[in-house]
Amino acid sequence: MEADDAVFDGILEKVGNDGRFQRRFNLIFNMGAIIFASMSYMSIILALNKPPHNCHVPGMERFNISDAEMWKNLTLPREEDNKGVLSYSKCQMYNVTEAHLQMHYSEWRFQESDIINCAYGYDYDRTYYDRTPITEHDWICDKGFRETNIFVYNRFGELVGTFIFGQLGDTLGRRPVFYFSVLIITAGRLISMFTASIYVVFCMAAVLGSLTSNSIFQAPLIIAMEVSKSERRGYISMMQCIGWTTGLCILPMVFWATRDWFWALMFTIIPIFLFIFIPQYLIESPRWLATRGHYKRSMAELRKIANVNGIRQLPFDERSLEKLLSHRKVETVYGMASLFTGWRMARNTIFCVVCWIVASITYFTLVLLSSRLDGNPFLNFLFQSAIELPAYKIGQILSDNLGRRASNSLAFLTATVICIPIVMIIRVAEYEYIAIALSIAIKFCVSINFFAVNLQSIEIYPTCLRQTGLAFAAIMANLFGIFGPYVVYLGTEYDVRYPFVVIGLLSALGATCASFLPETLHQSLPETIEQAQKFGKKQKFWSLPKKPKTEGVEIGQEMEEGVRLKDTDDDVR
């Protein structure tokens, strides 16, 4: 049957593909739920912020010294920090013995041999935090890798969870995967709150809480994409991006208000759990049900959409729906291996994955750095998050006009160029605010990248592999993203320029790969693996996408023709 990929689009036109149901669904699940999901997911980053610290050296009260800076000057050696500036050591002190305390401090003379590791605990700058796991359990200096390792374990949890739940989305369904995602991320964060004193258990809870950090976003997004007209895909993706960014902007304010990691986590976790109690508003994708041969359930979900959209009578019923669609063979899918069936589909998968890896490493490196730069960590985090809102809007405009391919490539290229002046000036104190502004500009670019590559990932794969394709890209991004926290560690502990050198090189690679992905703007979603294998074959490389003159197939004509052909075939048999 000709124009087979437009059949379900025509069905959706009759039930309403841009009506009240779609607006309500997106408002609740692609904005409301995403606000709280992003807060739950990213809360661990602010909870594990490492406040400025030095060795605690007792004895200041003996000399009636009230100036803490003076006492540091007497008891702490100096060392170069990550900007090349000589400052007080974070993890070492002079060996102030009882003999020193018996004499006046003006007589103290220390040699390099008198420098020892912190012997009496640590003093933390509590300007912004009263309590964190790091200040409670001294995860610094010889235990400094604990914080970095937890971020790595988080990425590992995302990798494993995305592999499992990404494929479950295409086999078990999008709806149950969303509910599993909510339950698991809630359980993981709650366990973390009560186990910080037991490092191994805390790490296990961090992994648990990150298992569904991708599927909780993907499931409602894919449902919305599959029940809406193609022109709304960019808008739907932007709504979820707005929800994500809104959550990130609220998150630092919660931490700033509570000043306590335990209660901040509590206030950011409970709201997402409440979405379990509104199952009447979450449907299963009727498009996915139809591709699996579940026509009765597909028809039931279509009726729900039609009722909310004010359509009481449909021009087809379950029997005619089955006759129209049952000529489609339910394809055999071999999980993620199916993403590499055919040269073109394999090439698209590889380029798409590279773009995900570059965007992911860049994004989370900047997020981790934002709360570890000088100044107010909450405002730094807020400014880096707030820039995403205009970025996503501009990303939508560019993606819907220039196309997904050009938007993705240009954003990567711009990020590459911005890294050059940052590397040149970031160690100069007078240019600190310029460097911060330029790093925010990179965050602006990478937000556009995420918007564009997310759309491309959804649009280049067939229905039977759509969530699997997204999951595979996220898995590879998390696998390579494991190195991101170590890049940040190099920047915070050794040289602040290192992260931006890495970001610049990766962005150049991303720009190259993005330019070879097929353009998906104004293209129908591929329904079968065969269609995905041919997707973009006839596209010109140096051209802007044009809106097709004819859109879709008239459902009435298609319905009549499909039923007639099906009945004729039955009679012949």
Question: Between β-strands 86-88 and 78-80, what pairing exists: parallel, antiparallel or unpaired?
Answer: antiparallel
Measured in degrees and rounded to the nearest 5, phi and psi for residue 282 equal -110, 120
Give dist(CA 474, CA 477) in Å, integer: 5
Q: How far is CA 504 from the centre of its chain?
A: 20
Say which DSSP state 260 is in: B
Q: DSSP readout, 310-345?
A: T----S--HHHHHHHHTTS------GGGGGGSSHHH
> Under a CB-based contact definition with an 8 Å cutoff, are residues 408 and 450 in contact?
no
Sequence-ordered list of residues with C-beta below 8 angstroms from that of 547, at least 6 positions apart, any chain = 522
Give dist(CA 382, CA 379) in Å, integer: 5
Give dist(CA 51, CA 115) in Å, integer: 23
Give dist(CA 159, CA 480) in Å, integer: 10
3-state secondary structure of 19: coil
Neighbours of 267 (CB within 10 A): 17
Please report the pLDDT score of residue 552 as a whole number.
Answer: 43
- Torsion-angle region of 522 (φ positive above 0: left; ψ -120 to 50: alpha; else: beta): left
3-state secondary structure of 525: coil
- Label residues 535-564 b or e (16+ Cβ within 10 Å = b): bbeeeeeeeebeeeeeebbebeebbeebbe
Reading the block at residue 92, the tokens are 């070492």
> Under a CB-based contact definition with an 8 Å cutoff, are residues 333 and 170 in contact?
yes
HEC assignment per residue over 432-476: HHHHHHHHHHHHHHHHHHHHHHHHHHHHHCCHHHHHHHHHHHHHH
Cα dihedral across residues 157, 159, 164, 167: positive or negative: positive
Residues in the chain, total: 573
| Beta-strand runs (E) in 60-213 | 78-80, 86-88, 92-94, 115-117, 122-124
pLDDT tens digits for the chain (573 residues)? 334 446 777 888 888 888 899 999 999 999 999 999 999 988 988 899 888 889 998 888 777 777 888 888 888 999 887 677 788 898 999 998 888 888 888 888 888 888 899 988 999 988 888 999 999 999 988 888 888 889 888 888 888 887 788 778 878 888 999 999 999 999 999 999 999 999 999 999 989 998 988 889 989 998 998 888 877 877 888 888 889 989 999 999 999 999 999 999 999 999 999 999 999 999 998 888 887 888 889 888 988 999 998 888 877 777 777 776 655 555 556 567 777 777 788 888 888 899 999 998 898 888 888 766 667 888 888 888 888 889 888 888 888 888 888 888 999 999 999 999 988 887 777 777 888 888 889 999 999 998 888 888 877 877 777 767 777 887 888 788 778 788 887 877 778 888 889 999 999 999 998 888 887 777 666 766 777 767 666 666 666 666 665 444 444 554 445 444 444 444 444
Question: Between β-strands 115-117 and 92-94, what pairing exists: parallel, antiparallel or unpaired?
Answer: antiparallel
pTM summary value: 0.76
Say which DSSP state 494 is in: T
Give dist(CA 29, CA 225) in Å, integer: 12
Q: Is 138 exposed, middle or buried (0-12, 13-18, 19+ CB in 10 A)?
A: middle
Reading the block at residue 11, the tokens are 């069905």
Helix (H) or strand (E) holding 177: helix 174-194
Reading the block at residue 384, the tokens are 């880096």
Say which DSSP state 518 is in: P
